[in-house]
């Protein structure tokens, strides 16, 4: 299989996200294509996160799932400290000051933008 370059990835985003979309919801499943990405450095998730964030831009709302399904067993949830169980991009959103998390533990989301 051929490698996926940064340009390929951005072009793919452009082909599926309409220019007039006001809200963009990302479900990535990085593991399905990560081995094909030509990413600089070791932090693939942060690199992808930054590409998506830049592509979407500050004028649109960007949303990532941040479910903490273990809440069903533990009944413990901290809006700031509980790690999302929905992948690396959500984990990256958790570290960014411009993202806010909704309050429902098992159906929470990180979002930023208008």
pTM: 0.92
Query: HEC states along 13-52?
Result: HHHHCCCCCCEEECCCCHHHCHHHECCCCCCHHHHHHHHH
Dump pLDDT digits (tens) for 62-72: 999 999 999 99
The pLDDT tens digits for 75-89 are 999 999 999 999 999
User: In the predicted model, is pLDDT for residue 11 greater than 80?
Assistant: yes
| Residue 41 pLDDT level (bands cut at 50, 70, 90) | confident
Show me where the domains of the chain are located.
Answer: 6-112
How many angstroms separate the first and last alpha carbons of the chain?
A: 39
Helix (H, G, I), strand (E, B) or coil at 90: helix
Per-residue pLDDT band for 24 (boundaries 50, 70, 90) equals very high
């Amino acid at each position: 299989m051929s490698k996926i370059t940064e340009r390929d990835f951005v072009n793919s985003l452009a082909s599926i996200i309409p220019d007039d979309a006001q809200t963009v919801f990302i479900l990535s499943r990085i593991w399905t294509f990560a081995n094909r990405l030509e990413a600089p450095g070791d932090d693939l998730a942060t690199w992808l996160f930054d590409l998506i964030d830049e592509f979407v831009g500050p004028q649109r709302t960007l949303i990532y799932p941040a479910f903490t399904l273990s809440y069903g067993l533990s009944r413990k949830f901290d809006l700031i400290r509980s790690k999302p169980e929905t992948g690396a991009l959500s984990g990256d959103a958790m570290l960014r000051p411009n993202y806010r998390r909704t309050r429902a533990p098992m159906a929470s989301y990180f979002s930023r933008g208008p």
